[in-house]
Amino acid sequence: MAEKIITTEFSEEMQRSYLNYSMSVITARAIPDARDGLKPVQRRVLYDMSELRLNSDKPHRKSARIVGDTMGKYHPHGDSSIYETLVVMSQNFKKGMALVDGHGNFGSIEGDGAAAMRYTEARLQKFAEEVYLKDLDKTVDFVPNYDESEKEPEVLPVRVPNLLINGADGIAVGMSTSIPPHNLGEVIDLVQAYIDDPEISLEEMIERMPGPDFPTGGIIANKKELAEIYATGAGKIKLRGKMEVELGKRRTDKDKLVISEIPYTMIGAGINKFLMDVADLVESRKLTDVVDISNQSNKDGIRIVLELKKDADIDKIKNILYKKTKLEDTFGVNMLAIAHGRPETLTLKGILSNYLEFQYENATRKYQALLEKELEKKEIREGLIKACDVIDLIIAILRGSRNLKDAKACLMQGDISNIQFKHPGFEEDARQLRFTEKQASAILEMRLYKLIGLEILALEKEYKECVKKIAEYQKILKNRTNMNVVIKEDLAQIKNEFATPRKTVIEDGREAVYEEAPMEVQEVVFVMDKFGYCKVLDRATYDRNQEAIESDYRYIIPCLNTDKLCIFTDKGNLHQTKLQDIPNAKLRDKGTPIDNVSKYEGSKEEIIFLTSLGRLTGQMLLFATKMAMVKQVPAEEFITNNRTVASTKLQEEDEIAVIRVVGAEQDVVLQTSGDMFLRFAMEEIPEMKKNSRGVRGIKLGKGEELEQIYFVTQESVILYKNKEVHLNKIKIGRRDGKGTKARLN
């Protein structure tokens, strides 16, 4: 087969391919559907468990079995994502209503991971079985799976607004979703009110559903901002943990501050981080009233205990914990979902509108299917009742028929041409028969015991029930008002069976106020040896041992203890760290590796220039790279709150060679690895922004690099390869020139 080469514009192909990839991630992986509130992987896991008959009244099945079946049939994206989904849907501390009943180690609120899938077992929760998967065959469309070997539901017929009840989170390409969980009973009250009045105001909606209800409890401290969040679909919720004071029962017992509920954002590693933060606050003497901290949490709930000194200031401790730890945190809300095939940020009313539209569609399909089924049953029962009335004729036809086809033709069309009646007199009545095909089939399959009097009465009773149900279903399908009644009754039943009390308190909490005592400003000296071990010495220690320190340490920087350390590396990074984060040490202490107190990575980069931010203020820095790109940058460009930023823009495979503080020098000399020197006026190097590459300083030969920059003074003499080079005797040229060969002999 000959190859077919298609010529296309590379940029257009990349753009088209990336757009296709982006939409695939958005719609088929990361963002939930507004109708059932589920991502594809969640929907497929639940459907597969339903297909495996893992109902709440059946035994648990190995998680590996569920994961393998889901991956093989519906979700070919790896077992880890499927198992993680299964685990999360079973964790009642992450979901408003857990959908999976896990058996075994499914992780903990403190961040412990679940056991491997071969060790755990699972089945559906009754809530998922009843509310998410019921009437699956009567309501939603089924579509081919990834290889068209199976069918899977496009959405699940979820009977509640799952987007609100269980929330959602996910990161796609260029967008993300973050929807908090809500209380099932409150959401149902809201939906019922919305059905009664689609023009209901936001204030009335919030009366019925005042805000999110997180499974970890805690406190929402910005109640007044919730209306704006629900009106726009985006915003920030301020969360706080719940604290209680336990007074000592005896004189020897200490009072305790007990944290019984945590913010939803602290789930996982956040609890250990909180314990470490509190320990740091105690060690730094910001929490002087706390003498001990212990984590006494267990399967019954969170219990973090802070033992207090006598007469401790409780309000001050609470304010410090809220201000300095994650006990107060924010939950970013972005109610993004796939609505009508496209991602859309939904308001609260938008979520309800999409949900109700989906419910109307499902209810119409369901009751239409039930109506058709009852009409068929009515038709068959009418035929059977009629057949019982003329049972002698039916028996005569059956006895006179040679085969089933002849008997059926006689019952349906009155065709007696192939019927040999044993006794005359039935011919005229037989010609009048006009049973339907379904009735004829039912008559031919009817057993003789159905002719018993009680069975005939039961048949007539079933017929009346069919007629009653048909009228009921036709009434429901007739208009939206009747359908609304059915949906509301269904929701009321769900609320009655599954609703739980609210866990999260909603209030307008007072702002946590904590004024930190200002640090006493002192002169210190930062020192670091050639092995990267650093420490901070007080000024008096440095003054007494100046000569020994200068001989032992590579970097010595006098500064203030409130200053920042600036580390410029050859990879174009600037790492900043506060001096107060570097331990104060004695002269004989080894110190701390610079990697441990900053984001500098000694294995991947090399320090080119190191100073304090205070010493840089008002200065100009000269940058030079190995490819001889030079520029001057004002030090103000490097004032930032970020711990790591780019200090310059580098070409591919280029590195910073030299960074110098510019003084009053008139000329500068560039020296290369090929023993070439070029002298030109400092003013030829332009002042530029930090994110620019600079201009070429000297023309380099093949394989040559810029190695060093010197400032020219009246007596500029350097030792280069054990020979003296007089910089002020080098002839002045122009920037970007080739330079002069050094005379080393």
Phi, psi of 453 (to 5 degrees): -55, -45
In degrees, to the nearest 5, what angle opens at C-alpha 366 toward C-alphas 365 and 370? 115
Residue 582 burial (C-beta neighbours within 10 Å; 0-12, 13-18, 19+): buried
Contacts 24+ apart (CB under 8 A), 286-291: 286/320, 286/324, 286/516, 287/317, 287/320, 289/313, 289/316, 289/317, 290/257, 290/317, 291/254
Pairwise CA distance, residues 452 & 448, whole Å: 8
Contact 654, 626 (CB under 8 A): yes
Pairwise CA distance, residues 170 & 168, whole Å: 7
**Distance from the first to the final alpha carbon of the chain:** 71
DSSP class per residue in 73-110: HT--S-HHHHHHHHHHHH-TTTSSS--EEEES----TT
Pairwise CA distance, residues 527 & 537, whole Å: 8
Of the residues 18, 21, 119, 146, which is catalytic? 119
In this structure, how many other beta carbons lie within 10 angstroms of the beta carbon of residue 700?
20
Instruction: Compute the Cα dihedral for 258, 262, 267, 272 and give only its sign.
Output: negative
Pairwise CA distance, residues 363 & 135, whole Å: 10
* Residue 720 bears catalytic tag: no
Q: Which residues are registered as beta bridge partners of 238?
A: 330
In this structure, how many other beta carbons lie within 10 angstroms of the beta carbon of residue 18?
11
Tell me which amino acid residue 311 is.
D
DSSP class per residue in 329-342: EEEEEE-EEEETTE
Sorted by sequence, the CB contacts under 8 Å of residue 135 that are 6+ apart come out as: 157, 362, 366
Active site residues: 119
